[in-house]
Amino acid sequence: MVNIVQYMSNMAIPAIIVTIIAIGLKEKEKVFDRFLDGAKEGIEIVFKMFPTLLGIFLAIGALRTSGLIEAIVDLITPITNILKIPSSILPLALLRPISGSASMAVAVDIMQNYGVDTLTGFITSTIMGSTETTFYTIAIYTSAVGIKKTRWILLGALAADIAGMVASTIICRILS
C-alpha cells in the first residue's frame, strides 16, 4: 500500500504537466508560448514583491536580535497568568503573525521543552494550525495586486489571529 501511494505521489506532477500539454495541443494552443508568458508575469510579480519581502525579513531579524520579543513577553505575562494562558506560548503568539519560519522554530522549541502530549504542546500545535503568518500574507498579496490601503485588512486579520490563539487555548484546556 505504501509503495502504491509513493508511486502515485511521484507521478502526480508529471501527470498534471502531460495533461496540460495534451489539452493545449488538443485546443491548438501554443503551449510553450503560454508557459513563457506566465513565467514573465511571475517574474514581474516577484520584482514587485521584493521590497516588501526585504522589509519583512529585516524587521523579523531586528525583532529577534533586539530582545524586544522577550521584553513584550515579560510585560504581558502577568495578564496571561490571570487568564491561565501558558507564558511559554507567548513568543509563538507574538511571532506567528510575522514569520512562519520563526514561529515554527519557536513551536519546535516549545515541543522539545514541554513535550507534544502536554497542554502546552497541544496549544502550540493548535495555534500553528489555526493562525496565519498575517503580515507576510498581507504583504505578499496586497503588493502583488497593488493595494496600498491595508489598515482594515490588517486589523481584521490580526483580530482573527487573536481569536484563533484564544480559541486554541480555551479548546485545548477543555479537551485536555
Predicted confidence (pLDDT) per residue in 57-93, tens digit: 787 778 778 888 888 888 989 988 888 888 899 989 8
Neighbours of 172 (CB within 10 A): 19
For the chain, what's the residue count? 176
Look at residue 123 in the predicted model and tell me its pLDDT: 94
For residue 56, the model assigns a pLDDT of: 73
Q: Nearest-CA neighbor of 109 among 124, 129, 97, 98?
A: 124
Spatial separation of the C-alpha atoms in residues 8 and 5, rounded to whole Å = 5
- pLDDT, one tens digit per residue, over 92-111 is 988 888 888 788 888 998 99
What's the pLDDT score for residue 149?
Answer: 80
Q: Which residue has the cell 500574507?
A: 137
Which position has the higher pLDDT, 63 or 13? 13
pTM score, two decimals? 0.65
Number of H helices, E strands in the chain: 8, 0
- Residue ranges covered by each domain of the chain: 48-175
| Cell triple for 45 | 510579480
Judged on CB neighbours under 10 Å (0-12, 13-18, 19+), 124 is: buried
